[in-house]
């Protein structure tokens, strides 16, 4: 697919004045059915009502085979979402590139992040039959990033824009061969900002330099992701992997416990618990590079945990994970107690155990 075929009908949509949300549920057609990408009109045209309209994937939509215009990416560690597996892609507008300055990635207008959430029918066969639940798009429009949730139909032939989100019953066989059923929650458009919040503006979570400064297997071979973007002419400012921070995969039990715990807290908690996050007033800062024990919660009294604290006094009690508020909240699904507040309806048992092991290892 040529770069002129990622989006179609932009000029016609503008000419007709069809720029309202309702009209996006039935995309306009051109005689040639070719996509005309116009950067200056990127906002106002989105969102399309159907995922297929964007042209992100070639062949059958549910195979999620990326077209030539989108690039696979994968953060070193993944945010927990009720055990859903994820595939992620990024689209850079033609002729535009991201910049990396002071270890911050800045993306051009028109950039689109594409994240697909799915469940294998049997987790012991992750490459076998699967059910895709939703695809979330983050589009960098005129006024910044905007989130659009798309829910897949039962036949797995299409995903439809649902700004109100939804609740979907999902069944699967887990790694231990046990049958599981969960009520998967697709957040509504406005709820996305609850987690994707940086200084009160919506911002991506997984496309930070520390998450992407690692190798990934591409068709051309294994290469550092940021180096790959640079080679493709999609990134400037990358000075080599050793010049920028890099995180590990917290699931790798061969790596140091402290590093695994910090990687887990960063990807799952720091978007809120950081200086620019909505939980900045808590005094609990859980970024990968945090070294101040008090800011990590060690022997720290919570600012305003309310019922979330349970019967406990400190965020972290060294050597006593079962008396620490942080693991108490991670191990709950009750509204007002559970942390994170959104994005899960189940307890991440492995994640809780990791943080417990980390706390119990503290002297």
Dist. CA 258–CA 255, nearest whole Å? 9
DSSP 257-317: HHHHHHHHHHHHHTTTSSTTSTTGGGT----TT---HHHHTBTPPPSS-GGGGTT--BSB-
- pLDDT of 195 reads 61
Residue 1 has pLDDT above 50, yes or no: no
Q: What is the 3-state secondary structure (H, E, C) of 50-107?
A: EHHHHCCEECCHHHCEECCCEEEECCCCCCCCCCCEEEEEEECCCCCCEEEECCEEEC
Average pLDDT over residues 134-147: 93
Q: How confident is the model at residue 41 (pLDDT cuts 50, 70, 90)?
A: very low
- pLDDT of 36 reads 32
Please give the structure tokens belonging to residue 90.
Answer: 């990024």
Burial status of residue 230 (CB atoms within 10 A of its CB: 0-12, 13-18, 19 or more):
buried
Block residue for tokens 């911002």: 203
- pLDDT of 23 reads 37
Average pLDDT over residues 321-338: 93
- pLDDT of 188 reads 77
The better pLDDT of the pair 123, 7 is held by 123
- pLDDT of 19 reads 33
Dist. CA 154–CA 152, nearest whole Å? 7
Dist. CA 28–CA 18, nearest whole Å? 9
Burial status of residue 63 (CB atoms within 10 A of its CB: 0-12, 13-18, 19 or more):
exposed
- pLDDT of 339 reads 87
Q: How confident is the model at residue 43 (pLDDT cuts 50, 70, 90)?
A: very low
Spatial contact of 54 and 45, defined as CB atoms under 8 Å apart: no
Least confident of 47-51, 64-68, 190-194, 207-211: 190-194
Average pLDDT over residues 218-240: 95
The pLDDT tens digits of the residues spanning 15-26 come to 333 333 333 333
- pLDDT of 323 reads 96
- pLDDT of 294 reads 96
Residues 255/86/54/234 CA torsion (nearest 10 deg) = 0
- pLDDT of 192 reads 60
Ramachandran category for residue 87: left, alpha or beta (phi over 0 → left; psi -120 to 50 → alpha): beta
- pLDDT of 198 reads 57
Average pLDDT over residues 123-128: 94
The pLDDT tens digits of the residues spanning 85-110 come to 999 999 999 999 999 999 999 999 99
Residue 62 has pLDDT above 50, yes or no: yes
Average pLDDT over residues 114-123: 97
The pLDDT tens digits of the residues spanning 151-201 come to 999 999 999 999 898 999 999 999 999 999 999 999 876 766 556 655 457
Ramachandran category for residue 237: left, alpha or beta (phi over 0 → left; psi -120 to 50 → alpha): left
Least confident of 65-69, 270-274, 296-300, 350-354: 270-274
């Amino acid at each position: 697919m040529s770069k002129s075929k990622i989006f179609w009908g932009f000029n016609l949509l503008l000419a007709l004045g069809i720029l309202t949300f309702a009209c996006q549920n039935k995309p306009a057609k051109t005689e040639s059915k070719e996509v005309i990408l116009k950067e200056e009109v990127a906002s106002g045209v989105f969102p399309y009502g159907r995922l297929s309209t964007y042209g992100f994937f070639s062949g059958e939509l549910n195979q999620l085979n990326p077209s030539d215009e989108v690039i696979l990416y994968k953060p070193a560690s993944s945010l927990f979402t009720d055990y859903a597996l994820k595939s992620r892609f990024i689209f850079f507008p033609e002729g535009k590139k991201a910049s990396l300055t002071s270890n911050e990635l800045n993306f051009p207008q028109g950039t689109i992040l594409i994240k697909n959430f799915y469940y294998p029918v049997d987790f012991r066969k992750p490459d076998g039959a699967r059910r895709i639940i939703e695809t979330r798009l983050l589009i960098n429009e005129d006024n910044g990033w905007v989130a659009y949730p798309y829910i897949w139909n039962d036949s797995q032939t299409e995903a439809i824009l649902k700004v109100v989100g939804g609740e979907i019953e999902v069944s699967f066989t887990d790694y231990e061969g046990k049958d599981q059923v969960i009520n998967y929650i697709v957040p509504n458009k406005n709820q996305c900002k609850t987690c994707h919040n940086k200084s009160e503006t919506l911002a991506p979570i997984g496309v930070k330099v520390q998450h992407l400064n690692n190798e990934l297997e591409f068709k051309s071979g294994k290469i550092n992701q940021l180096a790959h973007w640079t080679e493709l002419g999609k990134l400037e400012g990358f000075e080599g992997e050793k010049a920028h921070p890099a995180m590990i995969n917290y699931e790798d039990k061969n790596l140091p416990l402290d590093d695994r715990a910090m990687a887990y807290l960063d990807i799952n908690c720091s978007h809120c618990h950081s200086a620019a996050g909505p939980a900045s007033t808590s005094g609990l800062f859980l970024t990968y590079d945090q070294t101040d024990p008090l800011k990590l919660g060690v022997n720290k009294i919570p600012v305003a945990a309310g019922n979330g604290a349970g019967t406990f006094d400190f965020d972290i009690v060294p050597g006593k994970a079962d008396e620490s508020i942080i693991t108490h909240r991670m191990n709950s699904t009750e509204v007002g107690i559970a942390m994170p507040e959104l994005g899960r309806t189940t307890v991440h048992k492995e994640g809780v155990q990791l943080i417990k092991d980390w706390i119990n290892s503290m002297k």
